[in-house]
Structures are given as structure tokens and as C-alpha cells.
Amino acid sequence: MADIDQKIVGYDIWHLDVPVVSRRDHGIGAIEGGFEVVVLRLTTEDGTQGWGEASCWSVFTGSPEASVAALDRYLRPIVVGKRISQRGSIMEAAKYVVAHATEAKSALESALLDLEGRIACLPVWALLGGKVRDDVALSVSIANPEVDDDIALMERIRDDGVRMVKLKTGFKDHAFDMMRCEKIRNDFPEFSLRVDYNQGLEIDEAIQRVLDLAAFQPDFIEQPVRAHHFELMTKIRSVCPVPLLADESVFGPEDMVRAAHEGIADGVSIKIMKSGGLTRAQATAKMAKSHGWMAYGGDMHETGLAHLAGTHMVAATPEIMLGCEFYHATYYVKQDILSDPFPVKNGRVVVPSAPGLGLTPDVDRLSQMARAT
Ligand code: MG
């Protein structure tokens, strides 16, 4: 049997350009042509490999260059030569050798868990406390500035069994957002609707615009104003007739303490890229629930590799009750990096049961998509 005390001897990094099928606009910025991710592979003495992804967005979490530097210069020395069984102490050291760099730390923990799971013949969810669900309802985000293209996407995902969408708002004008809400409500009544401003509203306009969209009875309205505007979030929450969610305002457990204390929202988007890993994402979700908040499993602009890590985390976190947004690998990238398709069936993400993360990247594809260094 493979030995959990063997050493990690290989540490490889790829900085990828991931082409996408369309432009997408958000309150804080646009994606056009593609997005960038950083992939980490750890290899043990017996050749077992563990994988992780840092999904970076410079306007949200941080830059891909920062993730490369964190992984290559600061995290590599605390990993190479260590034993697989030292996962806890490696992640504890990671907190202090480089500040922030949450996507890089998430990639590292994903790769360590993948390794440990493959060695122990256990899925990652088993290492995170055990599975509480076999699949997770999928929400697809609607963010194309061309409305007709979004309508075509909604028809496609409806055929696939998806029944949740999140409308990205606050990147054009208010009439545009109202029109799209009305169209979705009228033409796609079988869908539940969520709204996400991605910080896109100005202070003086925020309350009225949120109230206007709340009239369409979305499940929730997410992050209408800038991340640091806690006081305004609290004010909006006090008048908003539908739940208010925090995303950019809450990265990890430390933000969650303050957000709950100040009552800025009714729920939170839990993302492994914000929290700095899978276990810290779980801690954030548990803290949210203890304050009566709801939670869903969010993502950044990711490939199927990061989706897998997120899926295992959500599978083992009972406090995340509102589904997930792991749709990029299926509906947004031109080609995913996983050798086999990221598992989605009838509008739900299927939780893998194979050891580790359950699937692996195609190394040839990584080489093709890698940036020249
Ligand atoms: Mg969001």
C-alpha cells in the first residue's frame, strides 16, 4: 500500500490562458477572449500526483502573477521535501509565509488533499468530514451584454435540466437590468432567479435600484455595493424585501466575524478562492450558519479542476444549502483542462466518488494552453 509518510518531491506550475466562448460583463469588470488560471501539480516519491488550481481575477481576488509568485517563491519551500501526512502543518505555515494569496493557498490545499486521497483511496470529501449530499443543484450566471446570446444560453441550459440562473447586473444601465429581469420572469418561469451586482451600484442610487429589482422576487440580491461599504450593506438589508447576500465583502472567516456582527447580509457566497482553501471555506460556512445566514458554493472564473475542489468542499459542508455555480467548465470555456468532462447531469453537479479529486487534468492540454515563461 502506498505510504502516507512518503515525501513530496515534485512541484510543477502552469500559468494558463483559458479561452472562453463569449464576453461577460460584471459590475467590477469584464471577461473577453479568456481568463487566466494557475495550475499546481505535486508529485510524491512513488509518482502519485495531486492537483490544484488558483483561479485568479485581478479585480476581485488578485492577479495570476501574484499566484505564480506565491506558489513558486513562497509556498514551494514549505512543501517540497515534506511528507504527505504533514498537510495540516504545511497549510498552517502557508498562512504566514505570504500574506493574502488566497487562490494560491487554495490550489495548494487542493493538491495536498488530492494526493492524500489518492494515497488513502478516499475521495477528498471523506477527508473534509464526510459527504452530506450526492449532487448539488447548479446555477448558471447570465452576464452577456448581448441579450439574445443569453436567451440562447438559457434555452440550452433549460434543455439540460438547469433551473437556476443568476443575472449579473449593474454593468450597463438600470433600464437594461429591469428589462432582463422582466424577460427572464416572463419567458422562463420555470427558473429561479438570483441577482448579482458585483459591487456595481453607486452609493446614492443603490437602495432604489435594489428595491426595483426586488420586485421581481429573486431568491436573493448579491453584493450591490463596494466590498468595504459594510454600513451601506446593512442599510440596504434593512429595507430590502428579499435576502441580501455578501460576496466580495466576505473572503474568509475573519471577514465573516465582522460581517455577521454588523448584520450586513442574510447570506454569503462561499468560495475556496476567497477563503484560501477548502477547510477555511468550510469554516466560513459554519460561521455563517451559526449566525443564521444562508450560503451557496460560488466560484471564480475557473476550469473543471477548481470546480472539482469546490464540489468536494460543498459535498462535505452541510451549511451550504443553496447549490453551486460550477458552470464554467460545462458552459463557458472553449475547452476544459480535465481529461474527462466535469460531471454535470440534469442540472446538477454530481459529486465524484473516486479517490482524491476524482479526475485529473490532461497534461498535453496544459502544455498547449500554458503561457510562455
Ligand atoms: Mg458574486
Give the CATH architecture of domain 127-350.
Alpha-Beta Barrel (3.20)
Task: Examine the pLDDT at 193 and tell me if it is beyond 90.
Answer: yes
For residue range 138-150, list pLDDT tens digits in order.
Answer: 999 999 999 999 9
What is the Å distance from ligand 1's center to 198 Cα? Answer: 5
What is the Å distance from ligand 1's center to 299 Cα? Answer: 8
What is the Å distance from ligand 1's center to 368 Cα? Answer: 30
What is the Å distance from ligand 1's center to 199 Cα? Answer: 9
Average pLDDT over residues 29-37: 95
CB-facing half-sphere around the CA of 285: CA atoms within 13 A: 26
What is the Å distance from ligand 1's center to 224 Cα? Answer: 9
Beta bridge pairs of residue 196: 168, 222
What is the Å distance from ligand 1's center to 222 Cα? Answer: 6
CA angle 26, 346, 354 (to 5 degrees): 95
What is the Å distance from ligand 1's center to 58 Cα? Answer: 15
Cβ count within 10 A of residue 86? 18
What is the Å distance from ligand 1's center to 166 Cα? Answer: 9
What is the Å distance from ligand 1's center to 221 Cα? Answer: 10
Task: Examine the pLDDT at 185 and tell me if it is beyond 70.
Answer: yes
What is the Å distance from ligand 1's center to 197 Cα? Answer: 7
CA angle 254, 197, 189 (to 5 degrees): 120
What is the Å distance from ligand 1's center to 247 Cα? Answer: 5
What is the Å distance from ligand 1's center to 28 Cα? Answer: 10
Q: What residues have CB less than 8 Å from 259, skipping those under 6 apart?
A: 230, 246, 249, 250, 265, 268
| 240 within 8 A of 231, measured Cβ to Cβ | no
Share of the chain above pLDDT 90, in %: 99
What is the Å distance from ligand 1's center to 223 Cα? Answer: 7
What DSSP element (H or E) covers 18? Answer: strand 8-19
What is the Å distance from ligand 1's center to 302 Cα? Answer: 14
For residue range 234-271, list pLDDT tens digits in order.
Answer: 999 999 999 999 999 999 999 999 999 999 999 999 99
Q: Residue 1: which pLDDT band, with cuts at 50, 70 and 90?
A: very low
63 burial class (0-12, 13-18, 19+ CB within 10 angstroms)?
middle
Q: Residue 373: which pLDDT band, with cuts at 50, 70 and 90?
A: low
What is the Å distance from ligand 1's center to 53 Cα? Answer: 19
What is the Å distance from ligand 1's center to 208 Cα? Answer: 20
For residue range 76-134, list pLDDT tens digits in order.
Answer: 999 999 999 999 999 999 999 999 999 999 999 999 999 999 999 999 999 999 999 99
DSSP H helices in 23-143 = 64-69, 87-97, 102-120, 124-127
What is the Å distance from ligand 1's center to 248 Cα? Answer: 7
| 254 within 8 A of 280, measured Cβ to Cβ | no
pLDDT at 271: 98
pLDDT at 131: 98
Beta bridge pairs of residue 83: 7
For residue range 150-180, list pLDDT tens digits in order.
Answer: 999 999 999 999 999 999 999 999 999 999 9
What is the Å distance from ligand 1's center to 307 Cα? Answer: 16
What is the Å distance from ligand 1's center to 196 Cα? Answer: 6
For residue range 313-332, list pLDDT tens digits in order.
Answer: 999 999 999 999 999 999 99
What is the Å distance from ligand 1's center to 269 Cα? Answer: 7
All cell numbers assigned to 122: 478516499
Q: Residue 137: which pLDDT band, with cuts at 50, 70 and 90?
A: very high
Question: What is the rounded CA–CA span in Å between residue 286 and residue 265?
Answer: 16
Question: What is the rounded CA–CA span in Å between residue 299 and residue 10?
Answer: 28
Please state the domain extents for the chain. 8-121, 127-350
All cell numbers assigned to 138: 447548479
Same fold, 8-121 and 127-350: no
Across the chain, what does the average pLDDT equal? 97
For residue range 266-318, list pLDDT tens digits in order.
Answer: 999 999 999 999 999 999 999 999 999 999 999 999 999 999 999 999 999 99
pLDDT at 372: 74
Q: What residues have CB less than 8 Å from 65, skipping those under 6 apart?
A: none
DSSP 20: B
Q: What residues have CB less than 8 Å from 51, skipping those under 6 apart?
A: 39, 40, 41, 42, 110, 111, 114, 305, 357, 360, 361
For the ranges 57-61, 180-184, 266-270, 343-347, the lowest mean pLDDT is seen at 57-61
CATH fold of the domain at 8-121: Enolase-like; domain 1 (3.30.390)
Strands ordered across the beta sheet of 8-19: 8-19, 34-44, 49-55
